[in-house]
Amino acid sequence: MPSLEIPGEFLRHAVLDTVVPDASDIDLEAALTSALEGGADDLTSVLSFIPQRSLLFFDEFCPVRVVLRLSNCSPTSLKHHLQNLDIRVDAFAIDPAETVAENPTPTRDLVFSGTINIAEEPLVVVNEFEGESGSGNHVYVIWSVETFLKRPRIRIQHPSLLFIASATLNPAENRQTDTREDDYLPPLVPASTNVLQPLSSDKVFPQNDPFLPASRLLRVIPAKSSEDPIYSIQQDSGHPIRVVPAASARIRYSRLNSYSGRPTTVASLDFEVTPFLTSDVMFDKAEIYMTDGTVEPLTDTPGLQFPIPCRSRDDITLIYKLTPEYGPDPNPSTTVMVSTMDILLEATIHLSENCKPRIQMQWRTNVDFSIALNPTFGGPSQALQRSNRPTSLPMTGNQANNTPTGGPPPSRSSIRERAYSITDMGVTISFSGPPSVEVGKAFSWNVFIVNRSTTPRKFAMIAIPRRKRPDPRGHVARPSSSSLSGRKERQVAEAVTDDNIVHAMQKNVMGQEAELVCLTTDVRVGPLLPGTCFATELKLLSLSVGALHLEAVRLVDVNTNETTDIRDLPDILAFDRNGIPAETTV
């Protein structure tokens, strides 16, 4: 057995497989030693001695073990090549009930893809054996990677998870190149026979003798594919594991009908355990964050203190009071106030004493704090009952300004970090960005789109920069130099280019200095089904100090070529590198 294998021979007889142990604190070294002492030969038989999970859950942090078995590998070769290995683990959601006859391309969706940190020391188990051909060994190298099993984007009737591992050896830095820099023959190697040697005495070739090496006429047999160096291997076949959702969550909003200084919304967060579980579930955490508002929990009862024990089909409802930081606009009939809210839920499933998987659900949504036109209108009286009575009445400007608000009106110099628009296409779109940016440093706007129409939509989003408007005063006309009456009498032709026209063109030219550049030239959104949402971002770069603006963000329907320009956008206040703000008023 050589002390150091060449890179192409390190993975020649290697076998790769994955296993999901049932117990999180299992002793893999003891399990492998017991399996090898029991007579297990191939890798599948060895891993069968390890108790494995038979049921997985979506939104779960699942630890997966990757096992690489090497044959006749020395410690020196293992230490030398192990640091150059790249191990990747991919998890696919599949339907094992599908057959090739029903669907030639089986339905699968990638739910996780990640690499293993080679800097972490793996578990190495060496098994020495004596065979008919002599002594040898099997080296088992085991890594641990934590995967997050997100929900698939496609609908699968009977979902299962399939883990596939692959290993790639990158010996670029350690590979020794045997190629020579020159094209000459090595020393002490005879040259090929000249087939045209008899023609050297022909007088037709007085200066150069014809030369044709015999090696050019011989048949070249390519090397066998099995002798080619191997630098990459993949797991032959996976082991499908059934996966089900452990819990579902949703949030609903109810706007208060009372008129106060700040609009208030009550949110009810529901956490429901699915009927697929027969084990206890501990609801450990529920956190809600608002970037520009406060969240006040209203369910601080003794029975709803975390962790909350749950059983199958239990539904836990948590109530929160959401209040934005800004007050109502003096003209609420034309103002839409939307905030962004992040939700984080965590729970632990007690399958057994040694198996307690942890799930996490996290998403972002919008909250509409727009108030009614006249919430003080109140409910209908007993003397007047109408079926189509409106819930609110519009107020005039004086009534809106004279109504007590319970707080100071918002200053017009405040910076709008968010903008919310409803297009004629039945699409709701909101933009949110940082309150201030640095000149010469890129920043991003978060874009959230909701398709509230009844048809699928597919859009292209383009940012349109603001252009300087030309001077409306125009150019003062002057008498043309070619309109002299004397030229007509002398029969002189008019000038090809009038200097008056040239002067007017030069005066109308203005320098277009870029103040704000959009680095995202084209964004594709969709296809969006009715009732679905999409989140993306626009990257911008400020080049000058002060209040900057985009002309509009154009939304183009790819199917119908219908365009809509969105001009209600967040404000951008640019600072210089020394932190000095602009002197202009926002």
**Share in percent of the chain as helix, strand, coil (round to 5):** 10, 40, 50
Q: What is the structure's pLDDT at 586?
A: 33
Whether 187 is covered by a domain: the verdict is no
Closest CA to 440 of 342, 543, 511, 525: 543
Expressed as residue numbers, the domain containing 291 is: 246-368
Is 70 exceeded by the pLDDT of residue 509?
no
Query: Which one of 242, 271, 290 terminates a domain?
Result: 242
Q: What is the structure's pLDDT at 345?
A: 94
Q: Give the whole-angstrom CA distance, residue 316 versus residue 197.
A: 96
Q: What is the mean pLDDT of residues 487-507?
A: 63
Q: What is the structure's pLDDT at 64?
A: 92
Is 70 exceeded by the pLDDT of residue 199?
yes
pLDDT tens readout for residues 247-294: 999 998 887 765 555 678 889 999 999 988 888 999 999 999 888 888
The total number of structural domains in the chain stands at: 3
Contact indicator for 247, 281 with CB cutoff of 8 Å? yes
How is residue 52 annotated by DSSP?
A: B
Cα-to-chain-centroid distance, residue 30: 40
User: Both 236 and 258 in a single domain?
Assistant: no
3 state SS of 334: helix
Query: Which one of 305, 333, 368 terminates a domain?
Result: 368
Question: pLDDT confidence of 329, banded at 50, 70, 90?
Answer: low
Q: What is the structure's pLDDT at 133?
A: 63
pLDDT tens readout for residues 338-367: 778 899 999 999 998 889 999 999 988 888
Q: What is the structure's pLDDT at 230?
A: 76
User: Both 438 and 359 in a single domain?
Assistant: no
In what order do the strands lie in the sheet containing 293-297? 247-255, 265-273, 315-324, 293-297
User: Both 315 and 464 in a single domain?
Assistant: no
Q: What is the structure's pLDDT at 393?
A: 46
Question: pLDDT confidence of 400, banded at 50, 70, 90?
Answer: very low
Q: How many angstroms separate the first and last alpha carbons of the chain?
A: 76
Q: What percent of the chain lies above the pLDDT cut of 90?
A: 16
User: Both 291 and 233 in a single domain?
Assistant: no
Whether 220 is covered by a domain: the verdict is no
pLDDT tens readout for residues 105-132: 677 889 999 998 877 888 888 888 776 6
Is 50 exceeded by the pLDDT of residue 382?
no
List Cα–Cα distances, 357 to 57, 350, 569, in angstroms.
8, 7, 44
Question: pLDDT confidence of 489, banded at 50, 70, 90?
Answer: low
Q: What is the structure's pLDDT at 220?
A: 54
Q: What is the structure's pLDDT at 494?
A: 60
Q: What is the structure's pLDDT at 568?
A: 79
Contact indicator for 251, 234 with CB cutoff of 8 Å? no
- 442-451/550-557 β-pairing: unpaired
User: Both 148 and 238 in a single domain?
Assistant: yes
User: Both 42 and 139 in a single domain?
Assistant: yes
Q: What are the tokens at 117?
A: 């940190």
User: Both 108 and 255 in a single domain?
Assistant: no
Q: What are the tokens at 354?
A: 């040694």
Question: pLDDT confidence of 88, banded at 50, 70, 90?
Answer: very high
Q: What is the structure's pLDDT at 402?
A: 38
Query: Which one of 301, 336, 368 terminates a domain?
Result: 368
Task: Determine which helix (DSSP H) or strand (DSSP E) holds 444, and give its type and residue range.
Answer: strand 442-451
Whether 147 is covered by a domain: the verdict is yes
Whether 479 is covered by a domain: the verdict is no
User: Both 275 and 233 in a single domain?
Assistant: no
Q: What percent of the chain lies above the pLDDT cut of 70?
A: 70
3 state SS of 377: helix
Q: What is the structure's pLDDT at 425?
A: 72
Question: pLDDT confidence of 91, banded at 50, 70, 90?
Answer: very high
Cα-to-chain-centroid distance, residue 364: 14
User: Both 233 and 296 in a single domain?
Assistant: no
Q: What is the mean pLDDT of residues 427-439?
A: 82
Q: Is the peptide bond before 307 cis (omega within 30 degrees of 0)?
A: yes
Cα-to-chain-centroid distance, residue 102: 33
Q: What is the structure's pLDDT at 178?
A: 43
Q: What is the structure's pLDDT at 136?
A: 79
Q: Is the peptide bond before 434 cis (omega within 30 degrees of 0)?
A: no
User: Both 253 and 233 in a single domain?
Assistant: no
Q: Give the whole-angstrom CA distance, residue 198 versus residue 359.
A: 84
Q: Using alpha carbons only, what angle is made at residue 71 by residues 65 and 72, rounded to the nearest 5 degrees?
A: 135
Higher pLDDT: 372 or 439? It is 439
Q: What is the mean pLDDT of residues 491-520?
A: 67
386: number of Cβ within 10 Å? 7
User: Both 50 and 106 in a single domain?
Assistant: yes
- The answer for residues whose C-beta is within 8 angstroms of residue 266's C-beta and 6 or more apart is 253, 254, 255, 256, 298, 319, 320, 321, 322
Higher pLDDT: 216 or 211? It is 211
Is 90 exceeded by the pLDDT of residue 429?
no
CATH number, residue 566 = 2.60.40.10
List Cα–Cα distances, 314 to 275, 343, 357, 363, 524, in angstroms.
9, 20, 19, 22, 40
User: Both 259 and 236 in a single domain?
Assistant: no
Whether 204 is covered by a domain: the verdict is no
Whether 188 is covered by a domain: the verdict is no
Is 90 exceeded by the pLDDT of residue 563?
no
Whether 483 is covered by a domain: the verdict is no
What is the per-residue burial (b if ≥16 Cβ within 10 Å, else e) of 133-157? eeeeebbbbbbebebebeebeeebe
Q: Give the whole-angstrom CA distance, residue 27 versus residue 40.
A: 18
Whether 81 is covered by a domain: the verdict is yes
CATH number, residue 312 = 2.60.40.1470
